[in-house]
Amino acid sequence: MDEYNSADYSFLGLCHDGKPLPSVCSLVYVVGLVGSANNEMCDLKTAGRFLQTLFDFEEQTDAAFMLIWQKDYLPADYYPQTPCMLTKEWSPISAMLDQGFCPLILRRDSGAMAVATGVWDAFTFQSTVNVIDAETFDQLFWAILSESFRRAKERNKLVSIIAQPGWSYGCGDALTEWSEEDIKLSDRILWRRRPAD
């Protein structure tokens, strides 16, 4: 029997311990690569601060060279592969648990907007849709995960996912559109928060 209950990591499980909050309908997550399951990004306070700071920085980032700050800010051996991604009433972590993706480590805090952070070993996994063609936030996540697993295997890393409810799905404008060269330079898989961006 798995030690993690998927319901605890669902959107509702992370949002007010399963009691709906009418004003909250979205969740933010970041997929990254780490060198070990003991990475500093597995600390709940570090992960929570990171999400807020990264989201704010990304809103002001017009080109990949502006991400130079992350070398000094990010924990050692942590490499974000996405910007802060947005979903509606859906959690990638519970979806992974439901599909049998067993984490090496998985933690969550309590409270109205619980942070969850976990690390998974990479294995060969192919999404049915690629990042460019994804039309829904769950399709986009599986496409991102597929590419993240490929990169992790290639670089001998593990895959980290951090999530927290509370961001507005429609907040702000879309991220500044980047060229393929900028996306590659930033070591990101994509530079948008939602499928429709």
Average pLDDT, 10 consecutive residues per value, the chain (197 residues): 84 82 86 96 93 86 77 86 94 97 95 94 92 94 98 98 86 79 92 89
The pTM score is 0.93
Residue pair 113/163 in contact (Cβ under 8 Å)? The answer is: no
For residue 2, the model assigns a pLDDT of 55
Give the other-Cβ count within 10 Å of 90's Cβ: 16
CA distances from 15 to 34, 54, 87, 108 (A): 26, 21, 13, 11
Question: Hey, how many other C-beta atoms are within 10 angstroms of the C-beta on 127?
Answer: 18
State residue 55's pLDDT score: 87
Look-up: residue for tokens 């192919």?
126
Look at residue 172 in the predicted model and tell me its pLDDT.
Answer: 57
Q: What is the pLDDT of residue 1?
A: 37
CA 156 from chain center: how many Å? 19
User: How far is it, in rounded angstroms, from Cα 107 to Cα 86?
Assistant: 20
Q: How many helices (H) and strands (E) does the chain have?
A: 6, 6
Consecutive H or E run containing 80: strand 78-80
Q: What share of the chain is helix, strand, coil (3-state, %, to 5)?
A: 35, 20, 45
> CB of 190 within 8 A of CB of 84?
no
pLDDT of residue 116: 97
CA–CA distances in Å: residue 130 to residues 32, 69, 136, 159: 18, 30, 12, 18
pLDDT at 165: 94
Report the candidate in 110, 109, 132, 105 with the shortest Cα–Cα distance to residue 121: 105
Which residue bears the tokens 């001998």? 156
Phi, psi of 143 (to 5 degrees): -65, -40
Sequence letter at residue 61: T
Alpha-carbon distance 46 to 133, whole Å? 33
